[in-house]
C-alpha cells in the first residue's frame, strides 16, 4: 500500500533519543539541537499582536512584505548581487525540501560532506537523487580536491552546511572560496545551509560571497529560539527562487502568517549576549572533554561537539552513557557512514553541562 519512497525513511535516531528523554526521571540531556533560551519578549509580543490584529489568514506565498522586504534589504546589503531574490519558507527544513525538489532530477547526484545533517540523505532520495558522500574526518574541513574528483556528468548540486550540524565545524575561508568557485566553474548548484550562521565564534563566510548563484537556506529557529514557529527563508538566483516559490504554493502554501511579523521584530533584537554565552559553553565542554582524554575537533560554531568515542563504537559508547549515567547524547552513525563518534549539544544549562562532563569523564575511564 505504501509508496516505495517510504523505504528511504526511518524514525530519526535523534527523535528516538528525544522520546527516551521523556521517560527518564532526571536525565542529563545533551541531545537536543535547539537553544535553551526562550524567544525574546519583543518577538513573543509581536506574535501576539499579529494574532490579535487578525493577521491569521494566508500570507502571499513568497512571504508577508513586512518580513520579506526587510530580509531582502539585508541580503542585498551583504551580497550586492544583481540577481538575488528572497522568499519566506516554512522553516529551514521546508526550504531544503523545496530546493531539492526544484533542482534534482531522478538519477542526479548530490555531494554532501560526511558527517552531515540527518535530513540530507532522505531529502536527496525524496527528489530521486543519489547521495555522493565525501569524508571529512578527522578535522571536518573541506578538501576541494576530493570534491573535484567526485564530480561526474550526473553531479547536479553540492549541499554545504557551515557552521555544521553535527560537528560545529566552520571550514576555512579559503576552503569555502575554492568550493564556491569550483561549483561556479562546473555549473553545479551550490546549496548553503546557513541556519547556524549567527552561532559562529569567528568571522562567518557564506559561499554566496564567491558564487552569485549560490542558493542560501536560513531561518529564525536557532538564532531566536523559534524552533516551533517554522519561519525560514531562502535566497538565490531568481530562476531557482521563483521555482521554489511555485513549489511552496502547491505544498506548504506559506509560512505561518502571524509569526512572520514576529520574525520581522526579531531582526531588531540583539542576540549577541546569547551567542557570547554559547561560546563560553563551547569552551567549557571542550576543556572538559580534553581533560578527560577525548579526541575532539574544536567547533567553530553552532552548539555541537562531535568527539570520538574513547572505546567501542559510537553506538556502543552512547548506549553505555544512557544506561549507566542517563546521559543523552546522539550516536555519530546517525549523521555518518562511520560509527566512531557521538554528538553532544551544549544548548543546555551550565548545571547540565557540568553533570555531562562528569559522566563523560567517568565513561572515558570505563
Per-residue pLDDT of 85-131, as tens digits, reads: 999 999 999 999 999 999 999 999 999 999 999 999 999 999 999 99
- Residues 343-353 have a mean pLDDT of 97
The pLDDT value recorded for residue 315 is 93
Per-residue pLDDT of 11-66, as tens digits, reads: 656 666 666 666 777 899 999 889 999 999 999 999 999 999 999 999 999 999 99
Distance, CA of 91 to CA of 210 (rounded, Å): 26
Per-residue pLDDT of 206-235, as tens digits, reads: 999 999 999 999 999 999 999 999 999 999
By mean pLDDT, which of 12-16, 58-62, 269-273, 337-341 is the weakest? 12-16
pLDDT at residue 136 greater than cutoff 60: yes
297 preceded by cis ω (within 30°)?
no
Q: What is the pTM of this model?
A: 0.95
* Residue 243 confidence class, pLDDT cut points 50, 70, 90: very high
The closest alpha carbon to 163, from 225, 93, 113, belongs to: 113
* Residue 140 confidence class, pLDDT cut points 50, 70, 90: very high
As a whole number, the mean pLDDT across the chain is 95
SS3 state at 85: strand
Distance, CA of 78 to CA of 62 (rounded, Å): 21
DSSP 157-212: EEEEESS-TTT-----HHHHHHHHHHHHHHT-EEEEE-TTTTSBSS----GGGT-T
Spell out the domains of the chain, with CATH numbers in brackets. 4-39+271-364 (3.90.1150.10), 41-266 (3.40.640.10)
Query: Could you tell me if 286 and 341 are in contact, meaning their C-beta atoms sit under 8 angstroms apart?
Result: no
Strands of the sheet containing 85-89, edge to edge, are: 85-89, 232-236, 215-219, 189-193, 155-161, 109-114, 130-135
Query: Could you tell me if 47 and 261 are in contact, meaning their C-beta atoms sit under 8 angstroms apart?
Result: yes
The closest alpha carbon to 156, from 198, 121, 111, belongs to: 111
For residues 3 and 7, which has the higher predicted lDDT (pLDDT)?
Answer: 3
Which set of grid coordinates corresponds to residue 186?
Answer: 562546473
Amino acid at each position: 500500500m505504501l509508496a516505495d519512497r517510504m523505504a528511504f525513511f526511518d524514525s530519526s535516531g535523534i527523535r528516538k533519543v528525544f522520546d527516551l528523554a521523556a521517560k527518564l526521571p532526571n536525565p542529563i540531556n545533551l541531545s537536543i539541537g535547539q537553544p535553551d533560551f526562550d524567544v525574546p519578549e519583543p518577538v513573543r509580543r509581536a506574535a501576539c499582536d499579529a494574532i490579535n490584529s487578525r493577521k491569521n489568514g494566508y500570507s502571499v506565498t513568497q512571504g508577508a512584505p513586512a518580513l520579506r522586504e526587510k530580509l531582502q534589504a539585508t541580503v542585498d546589503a551583504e551580497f550586492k548581487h544583481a540577481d538575488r531574490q528572497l522568499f519566506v519558507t516554512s522553516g529551514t527544513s521546508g526550504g531544503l525540501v523545496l530546493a531539492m525538489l526544484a533542482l534534482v532530477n531522478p538519477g542526479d547526484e548530490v555531494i554532501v560532506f560526511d558527517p552531515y545533517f540527518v535530513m540530507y540523505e532522505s531529502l536527496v532520495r525524496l527528489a530521486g537523487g543519489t547521495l555522493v558522500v565525501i569524508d571529512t574526518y578527522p578535522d571536518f574541513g573541506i578538501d576541494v580536491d576530493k570534491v573535484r574528483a567526485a564530480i561526474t556528468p550526473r553531479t547536479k548540486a553540492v549541499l554545504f552546511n557551515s557552521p555544521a550540524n553535527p560537528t560545529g565545524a566552520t571550514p576555512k575561508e579559503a576552503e569555502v572560496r575554492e568550493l564556491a568557485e569550483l561549483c561556479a566553474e562546473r555549473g553545479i548548484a551550490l546549496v548553503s545551509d546557513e541556519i547556524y550562521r549567527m552561532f559562529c565564534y569567528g568571522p562567518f563566510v557564506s559561499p554566496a560571497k564567491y558564487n552569485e548563484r549560490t542558493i542560501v537556506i536560513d531561518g529564525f529557529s536557532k538564532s531566536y529560539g523559534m524552533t516551533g514557529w517554522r519561519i525560514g527563508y531562502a535566497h538565490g538566483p531568481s530562476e531557482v527562487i521563483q521555482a521554489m516559490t511555485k513549489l511552496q504554493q502547491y505544498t506548504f502554501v506559506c509560512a505561518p502568517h502571524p509569526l512572520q511579523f514576529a520574525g520581522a521584530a526579531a531582526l531588531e533584537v540583539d542576540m549577541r549576549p546569547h551567542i557570547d554565552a554559547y561560546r563560553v559553553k563551547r569552551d567549557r565542554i571542550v576543556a572538559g572533554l580534553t581533560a578527560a582524554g577525548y579526541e575532539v575537533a574544536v567547533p567553530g560554531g553552532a552548539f555541537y561537539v562531535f568527539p570520538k568515542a574513547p572505546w567501542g563504537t559510537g553506538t556502543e559508547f552512547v548506549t553505555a552513557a544512557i544506561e549507566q549515567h542517563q546521559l543523552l547524547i546522539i550516536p555519530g552513525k546517525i549523521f555518518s557512514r562511520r560509527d566512531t563518534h557521538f554528538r553532544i549539544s551544549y544548548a543546555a544549562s551550565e548545571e547540565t553541562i557540568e553533570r555531562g562532563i562528569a559522566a563523560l569523564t567517568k565513561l572515558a575511564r570505563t
